[in-house]
Chains A and B, each alone.
Chain A
Amino acid sequence: MSATGGGVSHDEVLVAYLESGILDHEGEAHLATCESCQGVLAEIDGTRGSLAEGFAWEAPGSALEDAVVAAIQAEAAAPVAPAAAPVPVEPRATAAAGAASTGTVVPLDARRRGRGRVATWALGAVAAAACLVAVLAVATRPSGDQVAAPDPFTGAVVLDLKGTDLAPGVTGKVQMLPTPSGVRISLDAPGLPRRDGGDYYQAWLRSADGVLVPIGTFHDANEQVWLWAGVPIAEFPTFTVTEESADNDQASSGKRVLAGSLPGTAPATTAPSTAPPPTTGG
């Protein structure tokens, strides 16, 4: 302890205050004339409230670091020039994109120099799209496919849904945002009739080989519906909605009312794109 005059030390004052928030007569007398202790105690009082709040202690999920690294690496490996890009890209950047397609981590300096020639909006959209797809499933995307352009700010992919013969004329929109916790999905399908009384809708993600993953149930998609998926959307690229009933049968009824697939992946239906998706299947 650092002793001072008056029979009580700075340290004793601080320890006593930290323990109880109260000082005895000696401590108060010391504090009245000690600028050092006044400063420290004022600082403790100033931050005491903040130190009791979650922001000072809560930590992000352990998966977030990997997600951040993957997002930046995927962006780094993104193709630089889309087919529709109005301005040519420097050969060096194109070479970098080629290397990226083979899985090589490409230094970004060259890519950045190439970017200066390309419209900012196009780069942002393409880079974000490639980021998402590369993070989720680089290997499954056939070359030459167009990739959905995510929102340039949020990185969410927007997917359009078509009604089947069970919901003719109904369309919907899905936004899928990968987060460290899973894929956060919002669904809007105005015009889809509400289902009540033990009947409801169920949303699914389906893989190319037909594996179905349920991602939530709801009554009404006229209001925004929030769903969560724990599978990568590039491996489960087809989004469907089926009619279900509370009948203790957890399998899909097969009565599909809405469907849509990520661009650049297997379509939701083998029928021509102008036709509605089939009404059967999950």
Chain B
Amino acid sequence: MPSADLAARFRTGDPDAVRELYREYGRAVFAVAFRSLGDRSLAEEAVQQTFLQAWKGADRFDDDRELGPWLFTIARRVSIDLYRREARRPHGALDDVGEGEPALVTLPADVGRAAESWEIRLAVDALPDGEREVVKLQHFDGLSHDEIAERLDVPVGTVKSRSFRAHRRLAARLGHLRELTS
């Protein structure tokens, strides 16, 4: 968890505070942007803009509130703005369509799932390294428990127990998402 006085130090531009905040939330900001924009370079641009805009608006931030939801709000807005900026760029035959054409300026498809992206990423990042690695290999790389055990050179029982613990943690942390969407 970020230290209690992080917001105050971030407001002063303290480099250590900026780094602390980035390390706590940078990947989650990136996740929101990457899912919305579908492009690494743009997502990195969104991360930089999010933290810069957060710093510019830090005067208005209430220290008693949590930094995470505030950063998420900025990240989501920055991602939408970047998406709209990119959508306005000329693309071949669409050049003939006016810039103000509403059909050209829509919300990114996954922006409605921005909160889910944020929560999932924070939950994944909060897993112990060994458990996170197993979950990644299982879901992202599509490996079986036996294949993971071979890849990591650990007993398959270790893989099962790590997977079990990790999914318990994820379920506990992300249960509210299911309640929200059900």
Contact = CB atoms under 8 A, between A and B. Distances in A.
Interface of A: 11, 14-15, 18-19, 39-40, 42-44, 46-48, 50-61, 64-65, 67-69, 71-73, 75-76, 105-109, 112, 131, 153-155, 177, 179-181, 184, 223-224
A51 B22 contact: no
A64 to B, nearest CB: 5
A224 to B, nearest CB: 7
B178 interface: yes
B130 interface: no
Contacts of B40: 58, 60-61
Nearest to B139: A51
24 contacts: A11-B164, A18-B145, A40-B171, A43-B178, A44-B170, A46-B174, A48-B139, A50-B116, A50-B120, A55-B34, A55-B121, A64-B48, A65-B26, A68-B47, A68-B48, A69-B18, A73-B18, A106-B13, A107-B12, A108-B12, A153-B81, A179-B48, A181-B41, A223-B90
A60 B44 contact: yes
Contacts of B47: 60, 64, 68
Contacts of A59: 27, 30
A76 B145 CA distance: 50
Contact of A108 (B11, B27, B31, B170): B11
Nearest to B55: A72
Greatest chain A CB density within 10 A among B41, B124, B142, B171 is at B171
Nearest to A44: B167
Given A19-B160, A55-B117, A67-B48, A72 B30 contact: no
B51 A72 contact: yes
A72 B52 contact: yes
Nearest to B110: A55
Interface string B45-57: 1011101100110
Contacts of B44: 60-61, 64, 179-181
Contacts of B62: none
B43 interface: yes
Interface in B56-103: 56, 59, 81, 85, 89-90
A237 B49 CA distance: 24
A211 B26 CA distance: 36
Contacts of A61: 40, 44
A200 to B, nearest CB: 21
B144 to A, nearest CB: 7
A153 B53 CA distance: 9
B160 to A, nearest CB: 5
Contacts of A14: 164, 167-168
A71 B144 CA distance: 43
Contacts of A44: 167, 170-171
A114 B60 CA distance: 16
The 10 A-B residue pairs whose C-beta atoms are closest, nearest first, are: A51-B139, A76-B13, A43-B171, A55-B35, A55-B31, A40-B171, A60-B30, A68-B51, A55-B34, A108-B13
A128 B152 CA distance: 47
Contacts of B139: 48, 51-52, 56
Contacts of B140: 51-54, 56-57
Contacts of A179: 41, 44-45, 48
A62 B45 CA distance: 13
A60 B26 contact: yes
B177 A47 contact: yes
Contacts of A68: 18, 22, 26, 47-48, 51-52
Contacts of B15: 69, 72-73, 105
A116 to B, nearest CB: 9
B46 to A, nearest CB: 10
Greatest chain B CB density within 10 A among A57, A73, A75 is at A57
B114 to A, nearest CB: 10
A60 B52 CA distance: 16
A69 B19 contact: yes
Contacts of A64: 26, 44, 47-48
Contacts of B121: 55-56
Given A18-B145, A19-B144, A40-B167, 12 more contacts: A18-B164, A44-B171, A52-B139, A55-B31, A55-B120, A60-B40, A61-B44, A65-B26, A67-B48, A75-B13, A75-B52, A224-B89
